[in-house]
Amino acid sequence: MSEDLAALESLLGYRFARRELLATALRHRSSVLDPGENNETLEFLGDAVIQLVVSERLFRAWPQADEGSLSRRRAALVNARSLAEKAVQLGLGDLLMLGRGEEKTGGRGKRSILAGAFEAVMGAIFLDGGFASAHDTCERIFAGDV
């Protein structure tokens, strides 16, 4: 698993000082009994980071655009489908820790689980390296989309 996490860090362009945060980001709630040991709170945090970084990027790209236009563009970039695609590009599905039920029902390919894992990874980067690290990583990942 350590080699897999190192490969993920390489794809992200970010090396964790506290790799346990990355491991938690990949731990779906179905795989643990204790709610504090899964990726849901990191998912919450990562969602906010992604929204902010993409919003800033759109604002810089279209400084004269109105709020509605920018909101529609952000919604097109930050949604379950697009975040799941980012997760697939990073190979997160193969790294997820899932419970037996999710494993049996194809959880590794479920859009909501993949999107949540991507958000959790961004939240983990934020906690590990601060906003600048999360910003830079998110910018790289979304660079071709804006």
Catalytic one of 40, 102, 119, 128? 119
How crowded is the C-beta side of 33, counted as CA atoms within 13 Å? 0
- Contact indicator for 122, 50 with CB cutoff of 8 Å: yes
Of the residues 47, 94, 128, 139, only one is catalytic, namely: 47
Q: Quick check: is 128 catalytic? A: no
Q: Check if 119 is active-site.
A: yes
Phi-psi region of 91 (alpha: psi -120 to 50; beta: other; left: phi over 0): left
Cβ(12)–Cβ(137) under 8 Å? yes
Active-site positions? 47, 119
